[in-house]
Protein backbone atom coordinates (compact mmCIF):
# COMPACT_ATOMS: atom_id res chain seq x y z
CA UNK A 1 0.00 0.00 0.00
CA UNK A 2 1.37 3.41 -0.90
CA UNK A 3 1.80 6.30 1.47
CA UNK A 4 -1.39 8.07 2.39
CA UNK A 5 -1.50 11.09 0.07
CA UNK A 6 -3.31 13.15 2.73
CA UNK A 7 -0.49 12.75 5.22
CA UNK A 8 2.92 11.79 3.82
CA UNK A 9 4.16 10.67 7.24
CA UNK A 10 1.57 7.96 7.83
CA UNK A 11 0.38 4.68 6.35
CA UNK A 12 -2.92 2.86 6.67
CA UNK A 13 -2.87 -0.93 6.55
CA UNK A 14 -4.87 -3.97 7.63
CA UNK A 15 -3.43 -6.52 10.00
CA UNK A 16 -3.88 -10.26 9.61
CA UNK A 17 -7.25 -10.01 11.37
CA UNK A 18 -8.42 -7.43 8.79
CA UNK A 19 -8.41 -4.62 11.35
CA UNK A 20 -7.36 -1.24 9.95
CA UNK A 21 -4.42 0.54 11.56
CA UNK A 22 -2.50 3.72 10.90
CA UNK A 23 1.28 3.75 11.30
CA UNK A 24 3.34 6.91 11.61
CA UNK A 25 6.82 7.96 12.67
CA UNK A 26 7.64 10.35 15.46
CA UNK A 27 10.57 11.00 17.75
CA UNK A 28 13.53 13.13 18.60
CA UNK A 29 17.29 12.88 18.46
CA UNK A 30 18.97 9.53 17.68
CA UNK A 31 20.50 7.66 20.63
CA UNK A 32 18.16 9.27 23.14
CA UNK A 33 15.03 7.96 24.87
CA UNK A 34 13.06 10.07 22.37
CA UNK A 35 14.64 8.47 19.28
CA UNK A 36 12.45 7.64 16.28
CA UNK A 37 9.57 5.28 16.88
CA UNK A 38 6.88 3.86 14.64
CA UNK A 39 3.48 4.28 16.27
CA UNK A 40 0.36 2.25 15.52
CA UNK A 41 -3.19 3.52 16.09
CA UNK A 42 -6.21 1.28 15.59
CA UNK A 43 -8.70 3.04 13.34
CA UNK A 44 -11.57 0.69 14.16
CA UNK A 45 -11.48 0.51 17.96
CA UNK A 46 -11.19 3.84 19.79
CA UNK A 47 -10.47 1.96 23.05
CA UNK A 48 -7.49 0.00 21.68
CA UNK A 49 -4.29 1.41 23.14
CA UNK A 50 -1.84 2.90 20.65
CA UNK A 51 1.33 0.86 20.23
CA UNK A 52 4.93 1.62 19.29
CA UNK A 53 8.17 0.02 18.19
CA UNK A 54 11.59 1.69 18.06
CA UNK A 55 13.30 2.06 14.72
CA UNK A 56 16.85 0.69 14.74
CA UNK A 57 18.31 3.83 13.12
CA UNK A 58 16.89 6.18 15.75
CA UNK A 59 16.43 8.71 12.93
CA UNK A 60 13.00 10.08 12.02
CA UNK A 61 14.09 10.54 8.40
CA UNK A 62 15.38 6.96 8.11
CA UNK A 63 12.32 5.54 9.87
CA UNK A 64 10.03 7.50 7.53
CA UNK A 65 11.86 6.15 4.48
CA UNK A 66 11.58 2.63 5.90
CA UNK A 67 7.86 3.10 6.57
CA UNK A 68 7.39 4.13 2.95
CA UNK A 69 9.08 0.95 1.70
CA UNK A 70 7.37 -1.52 4.06
CA UNK A 71 4.73 -3.93 2.86
CA UNK A 72 1.52 -4.51 4.79
CA UNK A 73 3.01 -7.81 5.96
CA UNK A 74 6.08 -5.94 7.27
CA UNK A 75 3.83 -3.53 9.16
CA UNK A 76 1.75 -6.38 10.58
CA UNK A 77 4.96 -8.03 11.80
CA UNK A 78 6.10 -4.82 13.51
CA UNK A 79 2.65 -4.39 15.03
CA UNK A 80 2.90 -7.89 16.49
CA UNK A 81 6.26 -6.96 18.09
CA UNK A 82 5.09 -3.54 19.32
CA UNK A 83 4.58 -2.36 22.89
CA UNK A 84 1.42 -0.67 24.19
CA UNK A 85 1.89 3.04 24.77
CA UNK A 86 1.91 4.01 28.45
Rounded distance, CA 26 to CA 20, Å? 20
- Tens digits of pLDDT across the chain (86 residues): 344 434 457 899 999 899 999 999 988 766 666 688 899 999 999 999 999 998 887 788 888 899 999 999 999 999 999 999 98
CA 21 to chain centre: 9
**Sheet of strand 83-84: strand arrangement:** 10-14, 20-26, 37-42, 51-54, 83-84
Closest CA to 77 of 57, 59, 51, 46: 51
Task: Name the pTM for this structure.
Answer: 0.82
Angle at 23 between CA 20 and CA 25, to 5 degrees: 170
Amino acid sequence: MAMNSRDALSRKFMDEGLIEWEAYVSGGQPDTPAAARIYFVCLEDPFARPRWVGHESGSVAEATRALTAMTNADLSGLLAESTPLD
